[in-house]
Structure 1
Amino acid sequence: MARKRKGRPIHGWLVLDKPLGLSSNQALGRARFLLQAAKAGHAGTLDPLATGVLPLAFGEATKVVSFAMDGTKTYQFTIAWGEARNTDDCEGDVTATSDVRPDAQAIRDILPLFTGTILQKPPAFSAIKVDGKRAYALARAGNAPDLPPREVQIDRLDLISAEKDHARFETDCRKGTYIRSLARDMAIELGTCGHISVLRRTRVGPFDESAAFSLEKLEELSHSAPLEKTLLPLETPLDDIPEVAVMESEAIRLRLGQAIRVPQQMQGEVLITTSGTPVAIGMLEEGVLRPKRVFNL
């Protein structure tokens, strides 16, 4: 017999402004405690030294986390010139130094090289698995893996400001991009070395920092109003998926895993709803609608 989950069955998304120093799982744990939620997950890890948008999924929203993670992400970051670190951020040990300090024009000249589809070597201190072990665990044990480059997509990379020892940037990028690697490679291209000194994520797909709550704000609100009011709908990250509305009698069949026929010409993945309530993620092919992922709402 399955053990009953502790907590309340709440469903939806919370945009958390993750503070400096907490891991994503620690931040999730605190938010889950405040909401007393039975089930929770997050969409896209932020390092402890990063702050900003961490979308948290509660209840049935955890079934669409992958859609949120596929969304475009926006980061603001600062590169400190003159020191390379083994972690590619300010937490690691210095591995190289340089007296070269690029000026603003030199920085602008290289930005096109790091825009579009590029090859990027992930940092040794990353969560990528190597022979069943996390790369960061191997690196901490003194066996840093030589990870192969992989293709990533950077849609936009802008210089915000440039000082002698550091420069600030903003970028829009896709899943799998490491900002620490981007900073390392930009410094190398400029004939110097560098590392991330500040990193903040301001957007993940439809989740923007303007809708984000800090842990302190959530705790303050918990004393005066139900925190469910801070949640966004389960279907928030599904805006790009066509919606197919069905009758309640059809929704009952779909929830049981049965296929139904619908008068629709479209093909592919769809969001199935009834009276505005999400029923399932489904696949529509030649007028036959099959449920793939059913929501228990």
Structure 2
Amino acid sequence: MGRRRKGRDISGWLVVDKPAGITSTSVVNKVRWAFDAKKAGHAGTLDPDATGVLAVALGEATKTVPYITDAMKAYSFIVRLGQATNTDDAEGEVIADSDARPTDDEIRAALGQFTGDIMQVPPQFSAVKIDGERAYKRARDGEEMELAARPLFVEELNLVARPDADHVELEMICGKGGYVRSIARDLGAALGCHGHVVSLRRVWSGPFEAEDGVSLDLLDELAKSEELDQYLRPLEEGLADLPELRATAEGAAKLRNGNPGMVLTSDAEYGDEAWASHDGRAVAVGIYRAGELHPSRVFNT
């Protein structure tokens, strides 16, 4: 018999405004401890030195993580011009430098290369797997790898400010799988001056915004208290990008058992992925077909 996991059966999303200097996994562990939750996970890793939105799912909300991971995200970041590093951020060793400094107009012109559907090569120090091993582990051993380019959709990439000749502040809205460090590296290469990220903040991720995030100090202060529960957001927020279907009472019962259930008409079209609710709570996610939802995920709430 499997070992039962200790903790509370609590479900929902906690938006954390992650500070610099801590890993995303450490934040998840802290949230799980603070809520005494059985299960927790996050939607989209942030580098240890990055700040901003880290959306942490508890309990049944972990079943909605893929929908936040796939959602559009916005980043604000500063690029140091004139230097390339082996990690594409300020933590790495400088491996090339240049005295060239592009003008603001040259930077704006170059940004167009990185919008729309592009192909992006991940940083050497990244979580991409090579033959089952994380790239950053091989990179730490001094190995240089040929990482395959990956598709990325960049909706916007704008110049926000130029604090000085060596630095440029940018904002980017992109889809799943974007590496801001790669944008900085490739922009520097396109401008002929090199570049790397010196600061990075995720401003929003899907429906979640950094300004609404909980600090780790507050998490420590309210840990294991009922007061902390008020900051937990409904798991349904993780489904914001999917059409909602209203299930009948009979349909909800069938869906909870993993069977197709009757739903009321909505904006969903035949074959769309959607979610069904009953009495204001999520019941299941699945494929909509002719008045029924065929479930792929069922929520035990």
TM-score normalized with structure 1 length: 0.95
Structure 2 regions of 5+ residues with no counterpart? none
Q: Please name the residue that 1:221 is paired with.
A: 222
Q: Give runs of aligned pairs for residues 110-259 of structure 1, distance below 5 A.
A: 110-162=110-162, 163-222=164-223, 225-259=226-260
The answer as to whether partners of 1:40 and 1:59 remain within 8 angstroms in 2 is yes
The answer as to whether partners of 1:135 and 1:144 remain within 8 angstroms in 2 is no
The offset of 1:198, in angstroms, is 0.5
Secondary structure at the residue paired with 2:102?
A: coil
Residue 6, structure 1, aligned to residue 10, structure 2 = no
Residue 246 of structure 1 aligns to which amino acid in structure 2? A
Q: Which of the numbers 288, 294, 300 marks the counterpart of 1:296?
A: 300
Residue 280 of structure 2 aligns to which amino acid in structure 1? G
The answer as to whether partners of 1:160 and 1:170 remain within 8 angstroms in 2 is yes
Q: Bigger CA drift: 1-10 or 191-200?
A: 1-10
The offset of 1:135, in angstroms, is 0.8
Measure the CA separation in 2 of the matches of 1:106 and 1:260.
Answer: 57
Q: Please name the residue that 1:281 is paired with.
A: 285
The answer as to whether partners of 1:76 and 1:168 remain within 8 angstroms in 2 is yes
Measure the CA separation in 2 of the matches of 1:78 and 1:89.
Answer: 10
Residue 16 of structure 1 aligns to which amino acid in structure 2? V
Q: Please name the residue that 2:90 is paired with.
A: 90
Q: Please name the residue that 2:100 is paired with.
A: 100
Q: Please name the residue that 2:68 is paired with.
A: 68
Deviations 1:212-258 (A, max 9, x none): 01110222234875211101110102123222222333322221122
Measure the CA separation in 2 of the matches of 1:285 and 1:248.
Answer: 18
Measure the CA separation in 2 of the matches of 1:30 and 1:118.
Answer: 36
Residue 290 of structure 1 aligns to which amino acid in structure 2? H
The answer as to whether partners of 2:115 and 2:157 remain within 8 angstroms in 1 is yes
CA distance change for structure 1 residues 166 and 242 in 2, over 3 Å: closer, same or farther? same
Measure the CA separation in 2 of the matches of 1:51 and 1:4.
Answer: 34
**Number of aligned pairs?**
297
Q: Bigger CA drift: 254-263 or 99-108?
A: 254-263
Residue 178 of structure 2 aligns to which amino acid in structure 1? T
Residue 259 of structure 2 aligns to which amino acid in structure 1? Q
The answer as to whether partners of 2:21 and 2:48 remain within 8 angstroms in 1 is yes
Q: Please name the residue that 2:26 is paired with.
A: 26
Secondary structure at the residue paired with 2:178?
A: coil
Q: Please name the residue that 2:53 is paired with.
A: 53
Q: Please name the residue that 2:274 is paired with.
A: 270
Residue 298 of structure 2 aligns to which amino acid in structure 1? V
Measure the CA separation in 2 of the matches of 1:236 and 1:290.
Answer: 21
Q: Bigger CA drift: 31-40 or 215-224?
A: 215-224
Measure the CA separation in 2 of the matches of 1:103 and 1:166.
Answer: 11
CA distance change for structure 1 residues 211 and 58 in 2, over 3 Å: closer, same or farther? same
Residue 125 of structure 2 aligns to which amino acid in structure 1? F
Residue 76 of structure 1 aligns to which amino acid in structure 2? S
TM-score normalized with structure 2 length: 0.94
Residue 285 of structure 2 aligns to which amino acid in structure 1? I
CA distance change for structure 1 residues 120 and 214 in 2, over 3 Å: closer, same or farther? same
Residue 289 of structure 1 aligns to which amino acid in structure 2? L
Structure 1 regions of 5+ residues with no counterpart? none
The answer as to whether partners of 2:252 and 2:261 remain within 8 angstroms in 1 is no
The answer as to whether partners of 2:53 and 2:204 remain within 8 angstroms in 1 is yes
Residue 215 of structure 1 aligns to which amino acid in structure 2? L
Residue 157 of structure 1 aligns to which amino acid in structure 2? L
The answer as to whether partners of 1:10 and 1:228 remain within 8 angstroms in 2 is no
% identity of equivalent residues? 46
Measure the CA separation in 2 of the matches of 1:144 and 1:59.
Answer: 40
Q: Bigger CA drift: 155-164 or 280-289?
A: 280-289
Secondary structure at the residue paired with 1:25?
A: helix
Q: Bigger CA drift: 214-223 or 159-168?
A: 214-223
The offset of 1:276, in angstroms, is 0.8
- List structure 1 runs of 4+ shifted beyond 6 angstroms: none
